[in-house]
Structure 1
Amino acid sequence: MSNKPKRRRIKFEKRTNALYGQIWRLTEGAIYECFKAHPEYLANNVHRRSVHNSIVKRVTGEITGWIEQRSRQRRSGASSAADTSSVPARDG
Structure 2
Amino acid sequence: MARKFKSGDWVRVKGKLIAPKMQVLKYVQKKDSVLGLFDYDSYLECVWYKNGERKSKVYHQNKLTKTIETGGLFKTFLTTPSLSLTQNLK
TM-score band by shorter chain is under 0.3
Larger radius of gyration: 2
Which one scores higher on RCO, CA 8 angstroms, separation ≥ 6? 1
TM-score of the two chains, using structure 1 as the length reference: 0.22
